[in-house]
Structure 1
């Protein structure tokens, strides 16, 4: 009995224990809550400079995943990439899951700004092969722009070390690239190498001063440098070594920021070797060019006209637009240049030091006006000016022109660059305004164009001449578009047509255009109503162009329609064979050979020579061919056998030095031994014999026959 009591007691104890354990099992939600409460990220989260360790499971078996509010700074895996632009605040969100329960927990992380080794920046020459140590925004600066080859289509960049940066091939992309910070020390000089980057107002190197805050919004630009040595004829993409004097910022925290806002016209940059610490100025590269600050400067204009008959700063020789009043965006001080305008190696120079160039800031697409000071028209009443670009357009809303106004605003003259020839060449114009002598006038330059040579190149506005002999000799007469227009357009590019019966009608207007001295390009129409391509004959084709003033030009050409041509052209002058000594200079094989056709006429220029495998350095026989095809596709081929020999062949008794016809075979009565003579003189002077004997049938006229060697 006692045995059964003990067994029953044991079973009861096991039951109570099991019930007690079951009452302590946690739910899914309790496990998630417990792991959330225990979840931490090791380290000082307010001063993060290296990768974080992010737990992926909780103590109670939950799974943990992470997401970053800024993966560029902290990845979802905890990898940290500090920015050189300042301290960054990132929120890391942990998602804790167990079974059907889940919850999130946020951690606020402060990633500290990249700093170098106090006096230098990280990766100054991109020798890591990527942009390590630099922070990029936009699309202009990528790891893929780091290269390890110094050669490019323009020669050599001038790379130092094994790597450099170039965005050649990515023109049009914009963005910024910022270095790590550094404390300016040593001599206070820095150096760098840059190439391309033509427009220093859009693509430049900024030196930024930090203000020790979490953002860069209050960082200060203390200097700006550009590739001021860029030259279309010289440096182009090749890097120039620059040195910059930053001594006034010694001891201050700085960083380098490359800004690319350029989208065309050398809108890319090659760069290398941003070195910011030199103990002594003597340590700087000997060939370094002094970098000049290119930040826009406030210009205090204080210019006056030389006399009441002249405008102020007519040649932009102050280096700016002082003296001119501007509207819109097309005309700013930044477009004034002391460099020539380059066009595929041809330079168009300023007359006296400066000119206005739309290309200096790549401002095609911007519009505006530029107005001179008022002047009294004196002397002989002429003004002159130089203008390039500015393709003439009849629609004033899209046109570029130079106008002259009375002081009350009345426009009295309007000029366009009618000599425009699809280049930036500056043409000098002279305008006869003598009917306004004694009146007060001003000049207004108008830019309404946004494309299709919507660029101005301007120079030398001169308003006072006392003698016509003083006018520029190369000046063209400016055409006043406000004066009555009585000149018809000029049609060019027309030609006669030779066609076959049944041939499809060609594009009559292909290559045909019309230019008007006032309206620029005008439409050309063609009247082919009299042309019948189904019948042989000669027909008139009439071209017509009319300008806005109703002046009309017409040109009539001929359309000749003929039947199907099956006659092959004829080649003349081809020799059956030619002997030439080995290693001789190659002759002009086409000399003396002509070709003609019954329809196309002279086709000599169309002869095609095929020399095959001709080799004048090797003995042998070679065939060369002469081929010509007429407009109907009829082809003629003639061939010459070329013998390349050691010595030229000779014939027996070629100079008749036997005193008879030995070696020759005569037939008929025209060639006999008795016609061989040693007498060089005859009634007409001297025959011009070689050797002792020669042949002449003089005195035996009337006989016929042949003589074969």
Structure 2
């Protein structure tokens, strides 16, 4: 009977083991697939476009979609795409649909609407070039450290944060060739004004042009770098302000208005709980034990304020005279003990040698 029971148990364990392997090998679904659409690509096409003739259209529209399934990118294949009745030679509105069945067995799809137009008559649109632009002032730098004209122009264009979009050409990247007057901008000339012109044309020759006035302004406050805590002993005053580093994009350190607020940190019990209490004082009192919280403030000549930073002056109790005497005596005892031990060992060695 015992032998029969053992066989049954082994058989059941075998079944559970086989079933566990099958479950482990089965596909695991994390969620349905995700289709993303690149909306930066154009959805208007001029009738007769060679890139969209016949089977080329399917290849072209594949670039508008991306698929991600089970945390992995999936290649967009032609069989996933349905361009319907799209015909680049017929003016009209068309739907382009991408469908995909992921490992979860759920079908997902996305649709974009595209247009075939007779001709492109619209100029690119610029988002957004203001009529008046404030450009941040900078310090003059030595000649050997100056940026090249190309670098200065590129930096200015990037600061505008413009987006140029054309209905047919899609996104247009701005370069120095699209601007006039930018090379003349001197960012060290506070309150200086310069006129610039932006001109952008699409592949059909439609042109966008706009003028703007650039004014050099100080719009950035000073930067206070993280100061470190200062520690000392009671009745031992130390300098606690000079180590603070403050820089500005235009003003030198001595031109900045810098001030400090000082607060004595204490702990008080409120409703049975210990809480921090800060009391503003005029100076650090080095005769008192404890901590003082120092807040650093700074303002440049244009009135821009720095983000404040804080650090502590920590005043600790120095070693008292009795404690110092005790420590010295302890050290002397250790040294004396070591000398005695050395003498005893040396004496024993000499006796053995004799």
**TM-score, normalising length from structure 1?**
0.22
User: Larger C-alpha radius of gyration, 1 or 2?
Assistant: 1
Structure-2-length-normalised TM-score: 0.39
| Structure having greater relative contact order (Cα 8 Å, sep ≥ 6) | 2
Please identify which structure carries the higher helix content: 2
